[in-house]
Structure 1
Amino acid sequence: MNYYTDQLLPGLINSLSSQSGTTECIIVDNSRSIHPDSLPNSPLSIRIIKSKNIGYGRAINIALEQSRTKWVLLINPDARLLPGCLENMANATKLLDTPLLGPRFYWDDNCDFRMPPALGDHPSLYASCCMAQQNKLEASLLDSEWQIHHDYFWKQTSPFQEPFLSGACMLVNTDWFQKANEPVFDEDYFLYYEDTDLCLRIMKHDMMPIVVPSAGAVHYFNQAPDSEEKKQDLMEKSRITYYKKHFGSIPRLPKINWLPAKPIPDLDIAGTPPEFPCNFPLNPLTLELAMNPWFVPFIQTDISPPGLRLPNEVWKRLAPGPYFARIRHPQLGTLKKWRFVKPTI
């Protein structure tokens, strides 16, 4: 689905064109902004469905109604498939009984930065996040649990079950949804939570989504043009819909009043990509970036002395706002922490 992300479509189409087994690309243009001449030449049959802004889930369902295959790849304009991604997911469908599979994601074209498992949302996670905002010990426990989850996610070499997948790239069995008499996406969500809802619905059928480790993709993440205020408003509306549907009640987000026991030092970046110095003669070490001080979730890369500067490619795509960073050793824990702010341009 396109919503003023036209500049990302040529890269996506080129990525899809290189995948074995792809024959057609259907784009629902919710912004009516695509000019066919702006798209690259491709061996794929490309169809553009012009639409008003009807929401993400509804747009995807329209595209699925036009598809002619049992298995359909759903992919965002800001995602790119790595070589063999689709073929490896397709091979996994022959061995596993699931209507939903996904790849693991990287944050950058060089695949240096590993993205986290999809966070999802449910009452126990919500309660843990609330407690993390109120209590340093609870924050440490939640952080520890997430580290275990993240490390497990990236150590697997065979397809494995994962409760939540990212909607940035999913392989979907449309026949299964037709037999279950369900749409792939619930159109009550205008934007956000469609993928979380989808995974929960799969689990209610006593099945689990599957991650295929040999399938890799890049997700540039958060490249939609809406303002941060509008995104938060849309997300909260979808969150209310999600909790009413699956859990009956709507937990309210509390005000954050937790402060670290030790102040986290600011990293002076002066509007340039931050550099993270590392003087620890240990191996392995990881640099982890997060949007909250308890690091759930985080994006991860390897680091060694003398340190690492955030690549320009990543820095340019990073939304303005506050971030947290740390250097962590798998046995010794966190060795260094920083806070930095990307200014509004």
Structure 2
Amino acid sequence: MVTETGRPAAAEVTVIIVSYNTVQLTLKAIATLYANTRETTFDCVVFDNASHDHSAALIRAAFPQVQVIASDQNIGFAAANNRVAAGCETPYLLLLNPDTETHPGAVDALVRFAKSRPSAGIWGGRTVFADGSLNRASCWATPSLRGLFFRAVGIAALFRETQFVNPEAYAGWQRDSVREVDIVVGCFLLIGRPLWRQLGGFQRKYYMYGEDADLCLRARQMGYRPCITPDAQIIHHVGASTVRDEEKAILVMKARASIIRDHWPEWKVGAGIFLMWLWAALRYLGSRPIAKSRRASADRWRAVWRRRAEWLQGYA
């Protein structure tokens, strides 16, 4: 966008994309970002976490206007975002996953929403899968003992759209209305730069997964109320940069244990960690008889169970 003087307008938003071996998806994410953002002035920074697919060079060649930082080691999602954000001066930061595609006007709608609801502090949109069906993982409620119990014993899988059974997923809500939420997921998360700095960004101990939940819950403790708007919609392909299903499952479990330890009252933590243990134990035992027919699931839960001492402690 150009001002009346002919000079480029100062950017309102810095879009931060952290990539890892997702070059084709990242190129698509950047292409849709530029094609479908029509009102908002923004800078785009890609931090590449030591990819082996020539991501940095290919992104630079395709989008010379994008600042690309090529790391010589994988420092994780939280640390990469922190490093980029430390050098930003725009009023807003937008965290955008490399496996996303923005719909027309999505970023514009999200920024307008933020300006109309400053008390939220953190804002998110609606995510869908490539076929247009709802991807409910744009936001979550804080994990609870009730929700963990129903998930551990398998009842949650039978009543996916029942809020009492699935409170963490905001079951039954199609993300089709403005709503205050506990956690905005970091695949499409807008935050004011002053609040980001006040919070100190992501806690670096959250190497991958859980860092967005921790950020939002810390903001809520300060009185902010993160919100979702259905007017800002993106496609999220989900998990494209995680190499092994087993490793992702272990990181997710470790992140959940960390959220319990960091954000639950001390008297509830022991029960929460036990329910995490029970969840893994029952899934491991239940997957053994069907190992041949569902090998991937069996392998995943066997790996999770064998490494339970690691993830039950959470991130140190």
TM-score when normalising by structure 2: 0.71
The size of the alignment, in residue pairs, is: 258
Structure 1 distance, partners of 2:161, 2:229, is: 25
Q: Which has the higher strand share?
A: 1
1:36 Cα offset (Å): 4.4
Name the residue aligned to 2:90.
69
Change (3 A) 1:70 1:121: same
Q: Residue 107 in 1 paired to residue 129 in 2?
A: yes
Name the residue aligned to 2:252.
235
Structure 2 distance, partners of 1:64, 1:191, is: 17
Of 98, 104, 107, the match for 2:120? 98
1:32 Cα offset (Å): 4.2
1:142 Cα offset (Å): 6.9
Alignment of 1:132-171 (within 5 A): 132-134=151-153, 143-145=161-163, 146=166, 149-156=170-177, 159-171=178-190
Counterpart of 2:195 in structure 1: which amino acid?
W
Structure 2 distance, partners of 1:233, 1:132, is: 17
Runs (5+) with no aligned partner, structure 2: 1-17, 284-292, 299-316
Name the residue aligned to 1:129.
148
Counterpart of 2:191 in structure 1: which amino acid?
V
1:72 Cα offset (Å): 1.3
Q: Which has the higher helix share?
A: 2
The answer on whether the counterparts of 2:202 and 2:215 sit within 8 Å (CA) in structure 1 is yes
Name the residue aligned to 1:48.
69
Name the residue aligned to 2:313.
none
Name the residue aligned to 1:186.
203
The answer on whether the counterparts of 1:174 and 1:184 sit within 8 Å (CA) in structure 2 is no
- Report SS of the residue matched to 1:256: helix
The answer on whether the counterparts of 1:132 and 1:142 sit within 8 Å (CA) in structure 2 is no
Name the residue aligned to 2:289.
none
Counterpart of 2:216 in structure 1: which amino acid?
C
Name the residue aligned to 2:220.
203
Structure 2 distance, partners of 1:66, 1:49, is: 15
TM-score when normalising by structure 1: 0.66
- Report SS of the residue matched to 1:66: coil
1:184 Cα offset (Å): 2.0
Name the residue aligned to 2:229.
212
Counterpart of 2:181 in structure 1: which amino acid?
E
1:13 Cα offset (Å): 1.0
1:143 Cα offset (Å): 4.5
1:17 Cα offset (Å): 1.1
Q: Residue 256 in 1 paired to residue 282 in 2?
A: yes
Counterpart of 1:66 in structure 2: which amino acid?
G
Q: CA RMSD in A?
A: 3.3
Cα deviation digits, residues 27-75 of structure 1 (max 9, x gap):
1111244444422634743332424111110111101112231101101
Structure 2 distance, partners of 1:142, 1:150, is: 7
Q: Residue 23 in 1 paired to residue 45 in 2?
A: no
Cα deviation digits, residues 94-115 of structure 1 (max 9, x gap):
211222111100111x52x111
1:162 Cα offset (Å): 1.6
- Report SS of the residue matched to 2:238: coil
Structure 1 distance, partners of 2:101, 2:87, is: 23
The answer on whether the counterparts of 2:209 and 2:251 sit within 8 Å (CA) in structure 1 is yes
Structure 1 distance, partners of 2:154, 2:233, is: 37
Cα deviation digits, residues 75-110 of structure 1 (max 9, x gap):
1111111100111111112211222111100111x5
Structure 2 distance, partners of 1:46, 1:60, is: 14
1:131 Cα offset (Å): 3.5
In percent, how many aligned pairs have the same letter?
A: 20
Q: Residue 87 in 1 paired to residue 113 in 2?
A: no
The answer on whether the counterparts of 1:128 and 1:142 sit within 8 Å (CA) in structure 2 is no
Change (3 A) 1:244 1:133: closer
Structure 2 distance, partners of 1:256, 1:63, is: 41
Counterpart of 1:64 in structure 2: which amino acid?
A
Structure 2 distance, partners of 1:37, 1:30, is: 13
Structure 1 distance, partners of 2:42, 2:154, is: 52
Structure 2 distance, partners of 1:132, 1:50, is: 38
Runs (5+) with no aligned partner, structure 1: 258-269, 271-319, 323-345
The answer on whether the counterparts of 1:23 and 1:45 sit within 8 Å (CA) in structure 2 is no
Name the residue aligned to 2:21.
4
